[in-house]
Amino acid sequence: MILWWVNSHHFKNQLGKILTSSPDIADLTPSFSALSLVRREILYLQHQSQKKTEDLQKQQQILNLAPIGYLYIDPDNQLLWCNQQARQLLQIERWQPGKIRLLLELVRSYELDQLIERTRQAQTPQTEEWVFYRSNYGVSSSFDDALTAITLKATSYPLSKGEVAVFLENQQPLIELSQSSDRAFCDLTHELRTPLTAISLVAENLYNRLENPERRWAGQLLRETHRLSQLVTDWLDLSQLQANPNQMLTYESLELRALIDSVWQTLEPLAQEKQVTLIYNGVSSMELWGDRSRLFQVFLNLLDNSLKHSPSHSTIDINLQLIQYNQKIEVDIIDSGSGFIEADLPYIFDRLYRGEPSRMRQGNDVLSRRQGSGLGLAIAKEIIMAHGGTITAKNHPETHGAWIKLVLKQGLKE
């Protein structure tokens, strides 16, 4: 009997160490039988499981009401869960909650797959924006059949054990709003072209006939009319580049350094006025396949900006190099001015963006006060993108001046 009691007491003590979920199990162990302790533990675990299930369902309900899409991906790229917005954006119909399937079976998107893979490898949040082409195969009438392509922006976050969370935003309404605004402005510029030409002719006629002080007023009117006409021309040029970039380019083999030299010869009278020198570094010769007149326009705009914002008796550096492994050309244009305002950098290549007045630096001379249409950098970006390249702006760490980097495909014709 004593041996049974000792064994029973020892068993309950061991059971009390095992059954640790319930907070009061240690106090109840001496008073309750082993069977009662097990039953109490089971009931407690059932209650906790039910509570966690309810919390999970509540979180899923909240995510289902969210205006952005959500995907929950496991380490094997299987879709564990997604909300209603994600199903609508990606046209996911062959998936039901609780049924785990490969994401590739449900969504055919190379960009999304690469985003998830990058997130796992880097273990940092990643962002990607792309045009997603939605297939009409197997799509029910509950989805908008008229819309076959939308612009999506995805932000992914690494979770534990290789899982990834992806949030999706529909950028299509913003794209369409921007396109509508651009079309309206383009139509307006078309309408302004004829009256501006007429005003320019009248102003020029008055300027030739009047005497001072009326002549000065007519001259001011003529200059402002020319500036507005240039704005209209630049805007139409930019709109055509965005709409049909390939149709706006005429490709030929050209030597890049010779092209840059010809641009600098155009600006040399202004450079001599400020005593600014161009310093060329890098390979002596570099051929590429591109549109000569358009690339001339790009370098003319960039060097003109550098010259305009450079202090007197300074230099503008151009560094040119070929990246062998991908056959791309890097061109760095660095001036010695005061650089860009950091807050302006994300918007440097936006239409009509001029930045803070302090960017009009060293503004005591006429050259620095020259103003363009505000579209030069936007046009330069579109031309470079049409060539399959990129253009970025930042401040150089040594000169503290503006640093424009161009990356172009060499793309020599075979």
| Span 232-252, pLDDT tens digits | 888 888 888 887 887 788 999
CA distance 380 to 26: 75
Quick one: what percent of the chain has pLDDT higher than 70? 78
Say whether both 292 and 387 belong to one domain: yes
In a domain, 204, yes or no: yes
Q: CATH no. for residue 87?
A: 3.30.450.20
The phi and psi torsions of 371 (rounded to 5 degrees) equal: -120, 140
Comparison of pLDDT for 285 and 57, the residue scoring more = 285
Query: Do 74 and 89 fall into the same domain?
Result: yes
What is the pLDDT confidence band of residue 12, given thresholds at 50, 70 and 90?
low
144 or 298, which is more confident?
A: 298
Has residue 378 been placed in a domain? yes
b/e per residue 71-92 (b: at least 16 CB within 10 A):
bbbbeeeebebbbebbbbbbbb
CB contact set of 92 (below 8 Å; sequence gap of 6+): 79, 82, 86, 106, 107
Residue numbers of the domain that contains 224: 176-243
Residue 399's SS3 state is coil
pLDDT in tens, 92-127: 887 887 788 899 889 989 999 999 999 999 999 999
Average pLDDT of the residues in 220-243: 86
Distance separating alpha carbons of residues 169 and 53, to the nearest angstrom? 28
Is residue 101 one of the residues assigned to a domain? yes
For residue 298, being part of any structural domain is answered with: yes
Domain boundary among 140, 170, 200: 170
User: Which pairing describes strands 402-409 and 390-395: parallel, antiparallel, or unpaired?
Assistant: antiparallel
Which of 14, 47, 63 lies at the terminal end of a domain, its last residue? 63
Answer yes or no: do 265 and 368 share one domain: yes
Q: What is the pLDDT of residue 275?
A: 94
Question: Are 327 and 356 in a shared domain?
Answer: yes
Looking up residue 311, the CATH number of its domain turns out to be 3.30.565.10
Do 225 and 142 lie in a common domain?
no
Same domain? 371 vs 338: yes
Q: In a 10 Å sphere around its CB, with 0-12 CB exposed, 13-18 middle and 19+ buried, how is residue 305 labelled?
A: buried
Place of tokens 């564990």: 80
Q: How confident is the model at residue 181 (pLDDT cuts 50, 70, 90)?
A: confident
Which of 160-164, 197-201, 365-369 bottoms out in mean pLDDT, i.e. has the lowest?
Answer: 365-369
In a domain, 121, yes or no: yes
Tokens standing for residue 333: 């244009």
The pLDDT, as a whole number, for residue 358 is 47
Residues 114 and 17 in one domain: no
**Band (141; pLDDT cuts 50, 70, 90):** very low
Q: Where are the beta strands (DSSP E) in 339-401?
A: 390-395
CA distance 251 to 290: 5
In this structure, the strands spanning 126-133 and 149-158 are antiparallel
> Are residues 332 and 300 both part of a single domain?
yes
> How is residue 291 written in tokens?
């549109």
The span from the CA of 142 to the CA of 84, in Å, is 12
Under DSSP, the state recorded for 174 is H
User: What is the tally of structural domains in the chain?
Assistant: 4
Helix (H) or strand (E) holding 117: helix 110-122
Are 46 and 88 contained in the same domain?
A: no
In this structure, the answer to whether residues 296 and 385 fall within a common structural domain is yes
Q: Are residues 101 and 155 in the same domain?
A: yes
Own/partner pairs for 121-124, CB < 8 Å, 24+ apart? 122/158, 123/158, 124/158
Q: How far is CA 270 from CA 33, 180, 305, 338, in A?
A: 99, 40, 12, 19
When comparing pLDDT for 18 and 338, which is higher? 338
| Average pLDDT of every residue of the chain | 82
- What's the pTM? 0.63
259 within some domain: yes
Token pair of 244 as six digits = 């049909």
Domain boundary, last residue among 170, 203, 218: 170
Q: Does 414 reside within a domain?
A: no
Q: What is the pLDDT of residue 306?
A: 93
Could you tell me if residue 40 is inside a domain?
yes
CATH number of the domain bearing residue 234: 1.10.287
Residue 304 clears pLDDT 60, i.e. is over it: yes
The overall longest dimension of the chain from CA atoms, in Å, is: 131
139 vs 180 pLDDT, higher one: 180
Rounded CA separation 305/335 (Å): 9
Claim to verify: residue 314 and residue 385 sit in the same structural domain = yes
Neighbours of 382 (CB within 10 A): 23
